[in-house]
Chain A
Amino acid sequence: EDQVTQSPEALRLQEGESSSLNCSYTVSGLRGLFWYRQDPGKGPEFLFTLYSAGEEKEKERLKATLTKKESFLHITAPKPEDSATYLCAARGGADGLTFGKGTHLIIQP
């Protein structure tokens, strides 16, 4: 059974304090690792797709990386508007798309 585990569950940072969110996955035949951002009361919004180990994607203060067992979402010099829940999802073979429970990120001014 495919599994996706995100850590930490919650993270509180000061504005400008860089950090990383972790997504560990156990998926047979990974066909894509997705990151989404979810604001309170809203649906998830697509951020990145990574397909192979060593791949990196960047968008503003966010950078996603992928290894054979994990993905990291690095947040550099975050701002309060980066506060959200970040979801990771892995796409395997027969089991389709599996979501993690998310990391709730709070950036304090």
Chain B
Amino acid sequence: NAGVTQTPKFQVLKTGQSMTLQCAQDMNHNSMYWYRQDPGMGLRLIYYSASEGTTDKGEVPNGYNVSRLNKREFSLRLESAAPSQTSVYFCASSEATGTGGVITGELFFGEGSRLTVL
């Protein structure tokens, strides 16, 4: 059981470069999420997709874009990377998201993508 798979696991970028983080889940979940985790801070939601074909902003969306490619896949794109985007990024999925983005059940996380922007 793969669960939630993220690629790449590690990436180093220069300021201004672009890149896409990929995420796929095999649990047939409707909802998918992108979080970032920084030292001394809790997990913060960047974007989420309550269901295939929909995406919404979370707490810290600036500088990011997302695409829900199909039910399994949800990608996160950095168009022009900045040092402030150095972080560990986690993709997660859940069975459903309720009204207003309220997560209705437990989240299943990937192993993370560690991004450094120089």
A positions within 8 Å CB-CB of B: 4, 31, 34, 36, 41-46, 49, 87, 89, 91-94, 96-102
B positions within 8 Å CB-CB of A: 4, 40-45, 58, 90, 92, 100-103, 105-112
Question: In the assembled complex, which residues on chain B have CB atoms less than 8 Å from the CB atom of A44?
Answer: 43, 90, 107, 109
Do A93 and B111 contact each other (CB < 8 Å), given the known contacts A43-B4, A101-B42? no
Question: In the assembled complex, which residues on chain A have CB atoms less than 8 Å from the CB atom of B105?
Answer: 49
Q: Is the CB–CB distance between B42 and A42 below 8 Å?
A: no
Question: In the assembled complex, which residues on chain B have CB atoms less than 8 Å from the CB atom of A89?
Answer: 42-43
Q: Is the CB–CB distance between B101 and A46 below 8 Å?
A: no
Do A93 and B106 contact each other (CB < 8 Å), given the known contacts A87-B43, A99-B43? no
Do A4 and B42 contact each other (CB < 8 Å), given the known contacts A41-B112, A96-B103? yes
A94 is contacted by which of B4, B100, B110 (Cβ under 8 Å)? B100
B109 is contacted by which of A45, A96, A98, A102 (Cβ under 8 Å)? A45
Kindly provide the distance from the CB of B30 to the nearest chain A CB, expressed in whole angstroms: 16
Q: Is the CB–CB distance between A46 and B103 below 8 Å?
A: no
Other A-B pairs beyond A31-B102, A42-B112, A96-B58, 6, CB < 8 Å:
A36-B107, A43-B110, A43-B111, A91-B103, A93-B100, A96-B100
Do A100 and B106 contact each other (CB < 8 Å), given the known contacts A41-B111, A41-B112, A43-B111? no
Compute how far the CA of A34 lies from the CA of B106 in the bound complex, rounded to whole angstroms: 7
Question: In the assembled complex, which residues on chain A have CB atoms less than 8 Å from the CB atom of B42?
Answer: 4, 87, 89, 98-102
Kindly provide the distance from the CB of B77 to the nearest chain A CB, expressed in whole angstroms: 20
B102 is contacted by which of A43, A46, A96 (Cβ under 8 Å)? A96
B45 is contacted by which of A34, A93, A97, A100 (Cβ under 8 Å)? A97
B106 is contacted by which of A46, A96, A101, A102 (Cβ under 8 Å)? A46
Compute how far the CA of A99 lies from the CA of B42 in the bound complex, rounded to whole angstroms: 5
Q: Can you list 27 pairs linking A and B with CB atoms under 8 Å apart?
A: A34-B106, A34-B107, A42-B112, A43-B90, A43-B109, A43-B110, A43-B111, A44-B43, A44-B90, A45-B109, A46-B106, A46-B107, A46-B108, A49-B105, A87-B43, A89-B43, A91-B103, A93-B100, A96-B45, A96-B58, A96-B102, A97-B102, A97-B103, A99-B44, A100-B42, A101-B41, A102-B42
